[in-house]
Amino acid sequence: MRPITRTIRRACGVVAAGVLLAGCGLLDGAKNGNGALAGMDMQRAAERADAMFYATVGAIKPEIEWVHDATTTGSCDVTRYWTVMTAVSEQRRGNFLGVVERFWKASDYRIKMVNPSKDLPTITAVSADGFGIMVTIGYKGQAFFEVTSPCVDKSEVAKPVKVANGRTYEGEKPPPNVHSDFWSAETPVPGPTPSS
């Protein structure tokens, strides 16, 4: 029953954030005659989404273990998803989200929403070129990231090139199963977040 609850909670969060990101006029970049971001197709948008995610998780220290999840395409957009396999304890979720939010602000992303919910904390932001990015922490402290492109030219989309730093799973990902002495600790952070 719990995996079903996790899936439902994640789906609700993804839908709510997707509606928020899609309806907020995120398309800040230059458009072509069809209303799509000029000079970018779905494959290049997926690569940009990947780069945004890799930069974000690269800023999280100590390192977390993550795996690729789905890629979806709409009529003119693409969304990449990732699942974090490192358990983030309730006591460390604020620190985790704080690291992500600070990195996004330093990267000139505009923070669109911060939901401090105890059960499903979420942050959504948008880059200057209109890519929406979101992090949610769900069931058992499992973090999920997604990046959605603005409208771009239609094209085929390949799987991500970079290999995930976590093990490979067939089908649905399990609850977080990687322990971190820092992120999984059930005590508050005694001082500033470590830099390595």
Say which residue, 101 or 166, is predicted with more confidence.
101
Q: Residue 189 — very low, low, confident or very high, per pLDDT cuts 50/70/90?
A: confident
Mean pLDDT of 168-182: 93
Say which residue, 37 or 64, is predicted with more confidence.
64
Q: Which two tokens stand for residue 164?
A: 């995930």
Q: Residue 39 — very low, low, confident or very high, per pLDDT cuts 50/70/90?
A: confident
DSSP string, 16-77: HHHHHHHTS----S-B-TTSSBTT-BHHHHHHHHHHHHHHHHHTSSS---EEEEEEEE-SS-
Nearest CA among 120, 154, 159 for reference residue 10: 120
Say which residue, 118 or 147, is predicted with more confidence.
147
Q: What is the pTM of this model?
A: 0.81
Q: How many other CB atoms are found less than 10 A from the CB of residue 124?
A: 26
Nearest CA among 168, 171, 129 for reference residue 147: 129
Residue that is written with structure tokens 């979720």 in the block:
93
Q: Which residues pair with 148 in a beta bridge?
A: 79, 132
Q: For 77-121, write each residue's pLDDT tens digit.
A: 999 999 999 999 999 999 999 999 999 999 999 999 999 999 999
Run of H or E including 110: strand 110-115
Lay out the sheet containing 122-126: strands in order across.
66-73, 78-84, 143-148, 132-137, 122-126, 110-115
